[in-house]
Every structure is written in C-alpha cells, then in structure tokens.
Structure 1
Amino acid sequence: MAGIVIAQTTLDDEEKAYQMARSAVEARLAAGAHIDARMTTFSWRNDALQHERGYRVSFQTTTEKVAALAAWVHERHPYDVPQWIVLPTLAASEEYVAWAVKETTAR
C-alpha cells in the first residue's frame, strides 16, 4: 500500500505560496496543500542574520509522488536554496491514503 508524507517549503510572498500550493494540487503531485498563516523566520544569509516574514506550504502527497513533487517545486521556487523537508507519517487511515492516491493519479 502507498504511504503518505507531508512535504514542506516556505515562501516570502503569500500570492506565490497560494500559486505553488494550488498548482501542485492541479498537477496531481499533491492531494492537498495547506498554507500556514504568516510567520516570522530568522536565518543566516551572506554572513548576516536575516529577519523575514514567510508562509509555509505543506503538501500532502504519496511516497510515490514525493520525488516528482520535489523536482517540480525546486524548478519553480524563487529561492536559490529553498527549504524542502519531507516528514513521514507514522500512521494514516486507509481511507485517507486511498483518497491521496486517487487525487495524485492522473485522470
């Protein structure tokens, strides 16, 4: 049986986050996507501490689609080194897994 993962990236623009989430679902690379409310991030860039506002996009996808989703996100992401974190699920209902497989299958 297929497995489910949550894959995450961040963007500094709400409209870009919206477009990436929607487009990944339309492309059937993710069964669904959530955009978290604006958050504050701190990170080092060019030897300086940066403070930015951003949006986390969490994609619900299958283990079979996660590599294709990663390539798709990296191709479209505006950052040189985008955040890309894949979180495994310890458990998911059979119904949810079936839904995710159905929604990530080309029609």
Structure 2
Amino acid sequence: MTNDYRLMLCTCPNRETAIALARALVAEHLAACVSLLPGVTSVYRWEGRVEEDDELLLLIKTTAERTNDLTERLRQLHPYDVPEIIAVPITEGLEEYLSWVAACTTEPKP
C-alpha cells in the first residue's frame, strides 16, 4: 500500500463549530468522513500561560492529494488563530474503505 491516505486531526471549541467544519469538508469533497470525538480536554501553553479547555476532536479521513486544500480550508473556517491541524499517514487499511475515501474526495468534474 502506498502512502496515499491521511488521517487528519483537528480540535474544535464546541459541537456547533465541529459540525459546521465537518459538513463543509465533506460537502466540498475535501474529506470522505469526519468523526467527532467529544469529551477531549486540552492542556496547552498559549501566550505565556498554561490553558485548559474542553474541546471536540475531529478525525478527518482524506487523501494525501487533498491534504493541502483541506488544511487551507480549515484555516479559513476555523475560529482559532492557530488551529490544530495534523496529518498522519495511513499506512494500512481495508482496501475497499480506502477506495471509498479516494472516490469521495475526488473533485467533481464541471
């Protein structure tokens, strides 16, 4: 298997934001599926202070080819100044599922 697929991670401040981002990414063929994981507590350093916030984690399934466009779209839509956007290569997976990811993230022809 090649490294053609990515699992992207992105935290969100609330469910409304997470749903809006997920719907936009899927509607725009940037992601095949976005899973929302509630109940995440993030502890991080921001502007010299240690912060703690409840967040949701997005698990975004996409292709390597769509990663840059997806990252740019998340930056445009996300309310954070510096959103967490991390891409992890998918090195193994069910072939039929990954083929579905590829089909769903192919830009429609005009």
Residues 14-25 of structure 1 aligned to structure 2 (within 5 Å): 14-25=15-26
Q: Report the alpha carbon displacement of residue 95 of structure 1 after superposing the two structures with TM.
A: 1.0
Matched, 1:7 2:14: no
Instruction: Specify every segment of 5 or more residues in structure 2 that has no aligned partner in the other structure, as ranges.
Output: none
- Aligned residue type for 2:100: W
Instruction: Specify every segment of 5 or more residues in structure 1 that has no aligned partner in the other structure, as ranges.
Output: none
| Greater Cα offset, 69-78 or 37-46 | 37-46
Aligned partner of 1:62 in structure 2 is 63
Q: State the secondary structure of the residue aligned to 2:70.
A: helix
Q: 1:84, 1:23 → 2: CA distance?
A: 16
- Aligned residue type for 1:105: T
Q: State the secondary structure of the residue aligned to 2:22.
A: helix
Is contact 2:3-2:91 (8 Å) kept? no
Q: Report the alpha carbon displacement of residue 106 of structure 1 after superposing the two structures with TM.
A: 2.9
Aligned partner of 1:80 in structure 2 is 81
**Structure 2 length-normalised TM:** 0.90
**Structure 1 length-normalised TM:** 0.92
- Aligned residue type for 2:65: E
Aligned residues: 107
Task: Give the ranges of 4+ consecutive aligned residues of structure 1 lying more than 6 Å apart after TM superposition.
Answer: none
Aligned partner of 2:93 in structure 1 is 92
Q: 2:34, 2:58 → 1: CA distance?
A: 7
Q: 1:65, 1:2 → 2: CA distance?
A: 13
Is contact 2:6-2:63 (8 Å) kept? yes
Q: CA RMSD in A?
A: 1.4
Q: 2:95, 2:52 → 1: CA distance?
A: 41
